Copies of this chain bind each other. A is one copy, B any other.
């Protein structure tokens, strides 16, 4: 298993980590298999989405924040980030990408993202390459 850290700048944002995952793959020299990208935090997640227009990401931030609002007087958790925990569960803690001929098999428009829901923070990402 390898890992790397990511610095986030906002409370909610999507930070592209495709090249960092690709570097982990490259170091492993595995040609065929899968890469599991895992986020060990409970107020962030891993997702795969648009790698070109940054407006897709800002629209997703806007809509997610509207759907699950930050402040709700009924929340009982004392840290004020219950919304972040729910967004983490809806996004998911990991993504699995197929490896072929030594490369991540992403679609043309796909990038891998750390989804930050309670930043800014320094986050860790685990990557495990399975040969097969």
Contact = CB atoms under 8 A, between A and B. Distances in A.
Interface of A: 1, 32-34, 36, 38-42, 47-50, 53, 55-56, 58-60, 62-64, 67-68, 72, 74-79, 82-83, 85-86, 88-98, 100, 105-110, 115, 124, 126, 128, 130-132
Nearest to A62: B74
Residues of A contacting B: mostly: mixed
A65 B48 CA distance: 21
Contacts of A82: 55-56, 59-60, 63
Q: How many copies make up the complex? A: 3
B76 A55 contact: yes
With a 10 A CB-CB cut-off, give which of A76, A83, A124, A130 has the most chain B CB atoms.
Answer: A130
Contacts of A109: 41-42
A58 B74 CA distance: 10
A113 B1 CA distance: 23
B90 A34 contact: no
A123 to B, nearest CB: 10
A59 B86 CA distance: 8
Contacts of A75: 55, 59, 62
Contact of A42 (B33, B58, B107, B132): B107
